[in-house]
Homo-oligomer: A and B are copies of this chain.
Amino acid sequence: MAVDLRYDDEVQKTIAATEAFVADVVLPLEDEFAGDFEKAGGEHLRIELQEKAKAAGVFAPHAPVEYGGLGLNMSDRAPVFEAGGRSVFGPIALNIGAPDEGNVHMLAHIASPAQKEQFLAPLAHGDVRSAFAMTEPEPGAGSDPSALTTAATRVPGGWSITGHKWFITGADGAGFFIIMARTSGSPGESGGATMFLAPAPDDGIEIVRHMGTTDRAGLGGHCEIRFRELFVPDENVLGEVDEGFRYAQVRLGPARMTHVMRWLGVAVRAHEVAVDYVARRRAFGGRLGDLGMIQQMVADNEIDLAASRALLVKACHELDLGRHASNETSIAKTFAAEAYSRVVDRAIQMCGGSGVTDDLPLARLQAELRPFRIYDGASEVHRWAIAKRAVGRAAKKQQSQAAQ
């Protein structure tokens, strides 16, 4: 049999251990502090939870083995990250949260040995947090990367970066930034970006503010930032100059999928809370969970979760084969982000009045999940990209037929 969807015994053990760790250690804290990581303890709690995760053998499943991780490929990360995502505090506890997880992935692929020593090692071990500074406010690089305006100019021994970024996750308190800045061309042109590594704090980096988003499970905020003549020495250029757009793709595909994994865990939890509720509660002379309209919501959630997981498996497999997989990751991300919103919304509806109170975690999980249809490329941008490829393939076929 060629097609095989089973996980190795080792991976299955990791999944089970992660589930147990999250259920026993992490979830109670999440619920006690209503999913607000800063209130629950912030940086101190991060360190404490990560120590416990190391002790439980579930820390950093994605990081290279030589940096203390489990070295899982994308396919195997999927169920492990999902298990970690069952609590919104899980990703930080396991050191698989955004943006650190994606930065580990990126550094492992692109960084020089010295950069790995200086940046990847402490990040993989949880000694520091990091940030990834790409997104810019209008008219800069938002959905349209080619609009990049933050610029790095040549100075003796390195580069000077000036620019304006926002939605920079985890920026406040990050030990270093990966900064994407234009090194050639003009905004509106696609060529010419470079990735830079910049230790923080630094006088050239101003945390303007935390943007008040509906998700509260992270650490260090989603920040608005200004870089003002930030000096980055040549040795801190990550990869090649002017290859930044390509590297962004290297990072974005997998990072998109790990979002899908983690938030799948959140959606699964929301669904389980609701199913547990309707399996207990009685109304109209019977169990709530035996009413047809409730059953429809239960089933639709099961279907949405199964389809999200199946698309995720497919996209991860493509990435593991070394493919770009832009289409597969766009499809999985778009479907999953919308499915999770549907799932948590149905979960609330299944629980009636209790669903919109903080007696249950559902309302805050809805607020946590809502941004995913916008973060990492809004659904509309992914649909545009998916359609462009499909129509492009058809047009190419027409041309080749016309040429015959």
Contact = CB atoms under 8 A, between A and B. Distances in A.
Interface stretch (A111-119, A236-244, A251-259, A279-287): A279-287
A11 interface: yes
B363 A367 contact: yes
A294 B380 contact: yes
By secondary structure, the A interface counts as helix
- A280, A292, A296, A327 — which one has the most chain B CB atoms within 10 A of its CB? A292
Interface string A303-345: 1001100110110110011000001100100110000010001
Nearest to A383: B299
Interface residues of A, number: 101
A331 B353 contact: no
A11 B1 CA distance: 11
A382 interface: yes
Contact of A391 (B279, B310, B331): B279
Given A211-B357, A348-B370, A394-B279, A306 B293 contact: no
A133 to B, nearest CB: 15
Contact of A378 (B73, B349, B367, B384): B349
A353 B135 contact: yes
Interface string A136-159: 001100111001000000000000
A371 interface: yes
A71 to B, nearest CB: 12
Contacts of A363: 213-214, 367, 370
Contact of A292 (B143, B311, B384): B384
- A6, A317, A384 — which one has the most chain B CB atoms within 10 A of its CB? A384
B2 A8 contact: yes
A292 B295 contact: yes
Interface stretch (A120-128, A194-202, A270-278): A270-278
Contacts of A147: 283
A184 interface: no
A167 B306 CA distance: 31
Contacts of A144: 283-284
Contacts of A3: 4-7, 75-76, 313, 316-317, 320
Nearest to A3: B75
Given A272-B394, A303-B331, A353-B167, A298 B387 contact: yes
- A213, A287, A398 — which one has the most chain B CB atoms within 10 A of its CB? A213
A316 B3 CA distance: 9
A379 interface: yes
A386 B314 contact: no
Contact of A212 (B139, B291, B357, B397): B357
Contacts of A397: 276
Nearest to A321: B6
A290 interface: yes
Given A143-B352, A391-B278, A394-B276, A307 B298 contact: no
A292 B275 CA distance: 17
Given A3-B313, A4-B317, A298 B135 contact: no
26 contacts: A1-B75, A6-B321, A135-B353, A143-B283, A167-B353, A222-B357, A275-B391, A275-B393, A279-B391, A279-B398, A289-B391, A289-B395, A291-B380, A292-B292, A295-B384, A296-B296, A298-B390, A298-B391, A299-B387, A299-B390, A302-B386, A310-B311, A310-B314, A352-B378, A356-B374, A363-B370
Closest 6 CB pairs of A and B: A292-B292, A310-B310, A295-B387, A299-B383, A212-B358, A289-B391
Given A279-B395, A306-B331, 14 more contacts: A2-B6, A139-B282, A143-B283, A143-B352, A215-B356, A275-B394, A276-B394, A292-B294, A299-B334, A307-B331, A310-B311, A313-B314, A341-B345, A348-B370
